[in-house]
């Protein structure tokens, strides 16, 4: 009696994907396998020997059992055979003769890996064992009526008339012929192994910058560093990180062995070189080979028809023709980088065409190398392109020759512009939308790959040494370290630092010893000198009232204390410090500010002119000229770490003030081209055209790659909670705020009441003061051309000044409020928050024709800005920053007072002067003769100190001294305010 029970396959076998209970493996789904009786026999034999459980043989008694499957995949049943009988089947029959038949139309189970011994001839012992279990004799005679096909095949193969080798060969051939999937299974296995190896080597085909963590680990295993590969599990490491690895980074992962670290870095460099086919050409070599002298970053949308490019000798693509209108790209521009992809990777113009096509109208960022059009031979014939208004002649740049003077260039304004490096803006007929979105955003003079040729920057501006010193807080002020001169060449210092790091982590004691050994004290690269034009007594002070007379003499006596000159040895070894050498002595602000500062210099020069120190004032102007000749602009200060930003461009004001005091026409003629050159920098790299206009306006914009070196800790703290991908943008906004001169203020944030420095977005604002300054510069340059009888050039700059004046009224002036406000580019509206610099249009003489000054005064009264006892505060919001309430600063107070005076508010101007001077005088008395950079205007007794900022209030102070002396000469009969101080009343 047969016992029927459900078939239960072993749990290790995979399930068939069909709704059948038959368990199969995809390897054996070849229908040819079951096309002949011999196939079934071999399948039976193979299945029984390799997996007896599937054949129905239990592990204890090996008793065979029969399975019944419906041809339609029905439920399987298993029956025990107590009589040790198996179904009879003739070798030529295709179906089992027993009633309990198994149809193999459904694919049965077969293991994916077969025993390789099955291809060999079975031994006699195995045959006897099978015959005993199944009831067959070794000779192939069955005890049951019908012999098994598998044993019949065995009998045919193992005939005694054949040799052993012939039997084995015949068996293998028969097996391959009757069961071809055995060969296929092996090929499938080989293919699977090859696919696995190929997949494991996929990292070798990928670009390094596209690697994931798995790729990094597989690469480390490939180079024999399995132990260290396991250390990286858990880190979010990508190919971008591998490209930046150095020995210091690997040491942080716990790879202490120096040889291992160097091996990993060496293998990485070899792989990069192998992938590139050749070693990457440095930007320095590309720029040198391409014979260009200006690197410009532009951002503009393009269509595939706007540009025609071709391969350049530098290895990058070059612009052959600009077909589009008003694009910031020019012919012969070498594309060093496109959307952060190195230009060398664009091996065909079609690659750029595809990138432009895929951009879908979005702006594309280019870093291009071009030849700056700075000067032209006077004999060169100049033709004007009517479509763009720019000369079409090819200028010749002479790097070893001075620029031609104005009189040699003649009266042609285009010749002047080309010679001075100035590009005139297109006429209003051009597309406004194209101009609004096609704007250059940065310029790096000389070489873009600057760090690779100046090791001084690797010491003071970035790198592990700067990071270690600043984060260890060896000095209270971050600026202290970056102002320290080196005692050896920077490459020697970097080598010693690298050797020190090879020994392991540098502790604080070792770091202090290293800094004390290789660095000198800040300021030691400068020497204090006595100005040759300094006079002990100034006759104009005799007309002042007491106590202002004695006070003015004391301030006048501070000029020798603040005058500096670069030491001779620094001129010979300028690479040992961050100071940029200047040819003439200069006046420093004082305190931590040991160098010349740009916009400070105008207010200092105003004081020097009062003190009759004309040579010192002239030397400071020439110093700024030398900086423009070298860098194209005046940096924030003459330090290397200030080279990514400028400050409000007041050199035009400086020259105008000097000319008004001396009448030196020759000096005016000498410096005027420098003013045009600086204006060209702001036109090209700080300008923007708002939709609906064709007149350029200006904003502060800085491209930064990390924290400011002089405020390293402070910037890192500010950006601590900002996503890493947004930090460079924030660093740029912070540096742009420093370029504005107002670092820091709620002015550069979206919401003043919830202000925090990480919300700074300086580059999104068009500031009133910067645009007023440049508009005034255009008018002053026009007046200077009139003085030099260059009337055509004077008319051109006068036209630009008037156009910009109207644009300032349209965007900045609020008719409802009666005040100018900054324009927010992000929200496309005015900010409607007051800051003292919003009054600068009064001094710049750019008020509109129907302007009513009483409206501005009413605004000041409504907001309580005039009622403060010490002057007008920087803002109405107290945020704790130094350019917010309650502080006031000498330069802006001077501009406000002079602006009110220019527009007829004489009484208000005089009253503010008395308040401001009394406030400074009282603190000068209380502090024992000290002049400070800023003051708290909520009192004028000196009891309340100014506060806020990244450092303590500094004493000196250059621009405060200059403003006080100039205001005393403006109102020589003024007397101190006698009103009682609110601070004193409270106490």
Interval 136-177: pLDDT, tens? 444 444 444 444 444 444 444 444 444 444 554 554 445 444
CB distance 648 to 769 below 8 Å = yes
pLDDT at 82 over 70: no
Per mean pLDDT, which range of 138-152, 360-374, 742-756 is the poorest?
Answer: 138-152
For Cα atoms 884, 890, 895, give the angle at the middle one, nearest 5 degrees: 95
CA–CA distance, 5 with 200 (Å, rounded to integer):
46
CB distance 55 to 64 below 8 Å = yes
Element (H, E) at 702: none
Alpha-helix runs per DSSP H in 361-507: 406-409, 413-420, 432-437, 455-460, 464-471, 478-482, 490-502
Work out whether the CA dihedral 338, 340, 342, 348 comes out positive or negative.
negative
Alpha-helix runs per DSSP H in 663-744: 665-685, 712-718, 724-740
Q: How many CB atoms lie within 10 A of CB 162?
A: 14
pLDDT at 437 over 80: no
Per-domain residue ranges of the chain? 198-272, 294-361, 455-483+486-519, 700-766
Region of residue 57 (left: phi > 0; alpha: psi -120 to 50; beta: else): beta
pLDDT tier for residue 985 given thresholds of 50, 70 and 90: low
Q: What is the mean pLDDT of residues 850-865?
A: 95
Identify how many contiguous H helices and E strands the chain contains and give both numbers.
39, 22
Residue 508 tokens, joined = 């604080």
Look at residues 611, 609, 565 and name the one whose alpha carbon lies nearest to residue 588.
Answer: 565
**441 phi and psi, to 5 degrees?**
-120, -10
Looking at per-residue confidence, does 750 or 818 come out higher? 818
CA–CA distance, 916 with 288 (Å, rounded to integer):
55
DSSP string, 190-229: HHHHHHHHHHHTHHHHS-GGG--HHHHHHHHHHTT-HHHH
CB distance 769 to 843 below 8 Å = no
For Cα atoms 51, 57, 61, give the angle at the middle one, nearest 5 degrees: 130
User: What is the predicted pLDDT for the residue at 326?
Assistant: 67
pLDDT tier for residue 983 given thresholds of 50, 70 and 90: low
Distances (CA, A) of 43 to 38, 149, 379: 8, 11, 99
Alpha-helix runs per DSSP H in 421-567: 432-437, 455-460, 464-471, 478-482, 490-502, 508-518, 548-556, 559-562
Q: What is the mean pLDDT of residues 624-641?
A: 94
User: What is the predicted pLDDT for the residue at 33?
Assistant: 36
Q: Report pLDDT digits (tens) over 667-689.
A: 999 999 999 999 999 998 899 98
Residue 117 tokens, joined = 């011994």
Q: How many CB atoms lie within 10 A of CB 278?
A: 9
Look at residues 350, 343, 341 and name the one whose alpha carbon lies nearest to residue 287.
Answer: 343
Per mean pLDDT, which range of 208-212, 232-236, 535-539 is the poorest?
Answer: 232-236
pLDDT tier for residue 5 given thresholds of 50, 70 and 90: very low
Q: Which residues pair with 687 in a beta bridge?
A: 698
Q: What is the mean pLDDT of residues 587-605?
A: 96
Q: What is the mean pLDDT of residues 901-913?
A: 96
Range picked from 157-171, 520-534, 938-952 for highest mean pLDDT: 520-534
CB distance 746 to 758 below 8 Å = no
Q: What is the mean pLDDT of residues 292-302?
A: 76
User: What is the predicted pLDDT for the residue at 417?
Assistant: 35
User: What is the predicted pLDDT for the residue at 87?
Assistant: 43
SS3 792: helix
CA 672, chain centre distance (Å):
36
Looking at per-residue confidence, does 666 or 211 come out higher? 666
Q: Report pLDDT digits (tens) over 455-502.
A: 888 899 989 999 999 999 999 999 999 999 999 999 999 999 999 998
Range picked from 9-18, 435-444, 578-587 for highest mean pLDDT: 578-587
Say which DSSP state 732 is in.
H
Q: Report pLDDT digits (tens) over 404-418.
A: 222 223 333 333 333
705-741 core/surface letters (b: 16 or more CB in 10 A; e: else):
ebbbbbbbbbbbebbeeeeeeebbbbbbbbbbbbbbb
| Span 198-272 CATH architecture | Orthogonal Bundle (1.10)
CA–CA distance, 649 with 770 (Å, rounded to integer):
8
CA 71, chain centre distance (Å):
68
Residues designated as active site:
743, 933
Q: What is the mean pLDDT of residues 832-853?
A: 95
pLDDT at 851 over 80: yes
CA–CA distance, 466 with 58 (Å, rounded to integer):
76
Say which DSSP state 250 is in.
H
pLDDT tier for residue 240 given thresholds of 50, 70 and 90: confident
**318 phi and psi, to 5 degrees?**
-130, 145
**What is the CB-side half-sphere exposure of residue 328 using CA atoms within 13 A?**
29
User: Could you tell me how many residues make up the chain?
Assistant: 987
pLDDT at 709 over 60: yes
How buried is residue 103: exposed, middle or buried, by Cβ count under 10 Å (0-12/13-18/19+)? middle
User: What is the predicted pLDDT for the residue at 876?
Assistant: 93
**938 phi and psi, to 5 degrees?**
-75, -10
Which residues lie closer than 8 Å to 368 by C-beta, 6 or more apart? 295, 296, 297, 298, 319, 329, 333, 334, 335, 336
CA–CA distance, 844 with 801 (Å, rounded to integer):
11
How buried is residue 124: exposed, middle or buried, by Cβ count under 10 Å (0-12/13-18/19+)? exposed
User: What is the predicted pLDDT for the residue at 847?
Assistant: 94
User: What is the predicted pLDDT for the residue at 528?
Assistant: 95
pLDDT at 197 over 90: no
Residue 643 tokens, joined = 């080279």
If you average pLDDT over every residue of the chain, what do you get? 76
Per mean pLDDT, which range of 378-382, 737-741, 747-751, 783-787 is the poorest?
Answer: 378-382
Q: Which residues pair with 300 in a beta bridge?
A: 364
CB distance 448 to 288 below 8 Å = no
User: What is the predicted pLDDT for the residue at 110?
Assistant: 42
Own/partner pairs, 411-415, CB within 8 angstroms, 24+ separation:
411/790, 411/791, 411/792, 411/793, 412/382, 412/792, 413/792, 413/793, 413/796, 414/382, 414/384, 414/390, 415/376, 415/378, 415/382, 415/391
Q: What is the mean pLDDT of residues 946-967?
A: 93
SS3 181: helix
Per mean pLDDT, which range of 184-188, 525-529, 792-796, 823-827 is the poorest?
Answer: 184-188
Rounded-to-10 torsion of CA 973, 976, 977, 978? -120
Which residues lie closer than 8 Å to 723 by C-beta, 6 or more apart? none
Q: Which residues pair with 309 in a beta bridge?
A: 319
């Amino acid at each position: 009696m047969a016992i029927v029970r459900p078939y239960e396959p072993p749990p290790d076998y995979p399930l068939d994907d069909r709704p059948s209970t038959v368990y199969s493996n995809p390897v054996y789904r070849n229908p040819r396998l079951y096309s002949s009786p011999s196939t079934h026999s071999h399948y039976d034999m193979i299945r029984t020997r390799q997996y007896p459980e599937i054949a129905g043989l239990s592990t204890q008694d090996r008793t065979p059992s029969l399975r019944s499957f419906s041809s339609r995949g029905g439920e399987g049943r298993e029956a025990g055979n107590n009589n040790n009988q198996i179904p009879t089947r003739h070798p030529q029959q295709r179906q089992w003769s027993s009633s309990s038949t198994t149809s193999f139309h459904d694919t049965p189970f077969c293991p994916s890996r077969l025993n390789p011994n099955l291809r060999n001839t079975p031994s006699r012992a195995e045959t006897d064992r099978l015959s005993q279990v199944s009831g067959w004799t070794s000779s192939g005679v069955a005890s049951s009526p019908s012999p098994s096909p598998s044993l019949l095949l065995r009998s045919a193969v193992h005939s005694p008339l054949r040799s052993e080798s012939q039997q084995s060969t015949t068996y293998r051939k028969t097996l391959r012929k009757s069961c071809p999937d055995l060969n296929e299974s092996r090929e499938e296995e080989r293919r699977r192994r090859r696919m696995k190896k190929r997949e494991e080597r996929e990292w070798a085909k990928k670009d390094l910058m596209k690697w994931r963590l798995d790729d990094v680990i597989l690469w480390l295993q490939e180079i024999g560093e399995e132990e260290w590969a396991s250390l990286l599990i858990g880190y979010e490491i990508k190919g971008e990180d591998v490209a930046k690895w150095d020995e210091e980074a690997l040491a942080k992962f716990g790879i202490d062995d120096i040889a291992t670290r160097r091996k990993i870095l060496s293998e990485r460099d070899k792989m990069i070189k192998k992938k590139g086919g050749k070693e990457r050409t440095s930007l320095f070599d590309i720029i040198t080979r391409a014979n260009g002298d200006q690197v410009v970053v532009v951002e503009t949308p393009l269509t595939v028809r706007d540009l025609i490019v071709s391969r350049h000798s530098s290895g990058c693509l070059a612009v052959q023709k600009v077909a589009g209108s008003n694009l910031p790209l020019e012919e012969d521009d070498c594309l060093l980088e496109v959307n952060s992809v190195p230009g060398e990777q664009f091996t065909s113009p079609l690659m750029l065409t595809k990138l432009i096509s895929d951009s879908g109208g979005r702006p594309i960022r280019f870093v291009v190398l071009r030849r700056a059009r700075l000067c032209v031979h006077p004999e060169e014939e100049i033709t004007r392109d009517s479509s763009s208004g720019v000369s079409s002649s090819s200028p010749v740049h002479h790097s070893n020759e001075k620029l031609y003077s104005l009189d040699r260039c003649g009266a042609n304004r285009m010749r002047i512009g080309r010679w001075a490096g100035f590009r005139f803006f297109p006429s209003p007929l051009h597309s406004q939308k194209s101009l609004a979105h096609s704007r250059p955003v940065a310029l790096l003079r000389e070489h873009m790959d600057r760090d690779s040729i100046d090791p001084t920057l690797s010491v003071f501006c970035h790198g592990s040494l700067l990071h270690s010193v600043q984060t260890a807080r060896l000095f209270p002020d971050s600026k202290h370290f970056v102002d320290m001169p080196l005692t050896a060449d920077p490459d020697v210092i970097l080598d010693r630092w690298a050797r020190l790091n090879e020994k392991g982590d540098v502790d604080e004691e070792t770091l202090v010893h290293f800094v004390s050994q290789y660095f000198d004290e800040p300021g030691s690269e400068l020497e204090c000198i006595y100005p040759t034009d300094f006079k002990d007594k100034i006759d104009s002070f005799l007309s002042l009232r007491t106590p202002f007379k004695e006070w003015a003499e004391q301030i006048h006596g501070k000029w020798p204390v603040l005058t500096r000159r670069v030491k001779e040895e620094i001129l010979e070894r300028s690479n040992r410090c961050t100071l940029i050498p200047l040819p003439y002595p200069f006046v420093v602000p004082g305190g931590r500010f040991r160098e010349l500062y740009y916009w400070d210099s105008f207010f200092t020069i105003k004081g020097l002119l009062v003190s009759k120190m004309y040579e010192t004032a002239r030397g400071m102007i020439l110093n700024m000229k030398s900086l423009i000749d070298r860098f194209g602009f005046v940096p924030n200060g003459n330090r290397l770490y200030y080279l990514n930003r400028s400050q409000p461009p007041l050199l035009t004001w400086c020259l105008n003030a000097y000319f008004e005091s001396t009448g030196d026409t020759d000096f005016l003629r000498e410096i005027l081209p420098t003013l045009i050159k600086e204006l060209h920098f702001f036109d090209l790299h700080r300008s923007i055209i708002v939709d609906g206009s064709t007149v350029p306006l200006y904003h502060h914009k800085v491209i930064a790659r990390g924290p400011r070196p002089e405020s390293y800790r402070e910037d890192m703290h500010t950006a601590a909670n900002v996503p890493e991908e947004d930090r460079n943008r924030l660093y740029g906004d912070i540096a742009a705020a420093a370029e504005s001169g107002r670092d820091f203020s709620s002015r550069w944030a979206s919401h003043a009441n919830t202000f925090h420095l990480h919300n700074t977005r300086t580059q999104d604002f068009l500031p009133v003061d910067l645009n007023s300054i440049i508009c005034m510069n255009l008018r002053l340059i026009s007046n200077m051309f009139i003085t030099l009888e260059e009337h055509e050039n004077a008319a051109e700059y006068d036209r630009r000044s008037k156009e910009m004046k109207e644009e300032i009224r349209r965007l900045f002036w609020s008719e409802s409020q009666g005040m100018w406000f900054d324009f927010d580019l992000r929200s496309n509206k005015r900010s409607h928050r007051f800051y003292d610099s919003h009054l600068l249009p009064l001094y710049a003489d750019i008020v509109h024709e129907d302007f009513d000054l009483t409206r501005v005064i009413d605004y000041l009264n409504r907001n309580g800005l005039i009622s403060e006892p010490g002057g007008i505060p920087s803002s109405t919001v107290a945020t704790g920053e130094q350019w917010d309430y309650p502080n006031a600063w000498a330069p802006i107070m001077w501009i406000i007072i002079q602006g009110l005076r220019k527009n007829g508010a004489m009484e208000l101007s005089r009253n503010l002067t008395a308040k401001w001077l009394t406030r400074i005088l009282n603190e000068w008395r209380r502090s024992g003769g000290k002049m400070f950079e800023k003051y708290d205007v909520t009192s004028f007794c000196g009891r309340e100190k100014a506060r806020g900022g990244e450092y303590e209030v500094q004493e000196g102070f250059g621009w405060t001294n200059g403003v006080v002396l100039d205001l005393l000469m403006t109102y020589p009969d003024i007397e101190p305010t006698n009103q009682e101080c609110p601070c004193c009343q409270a106490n």
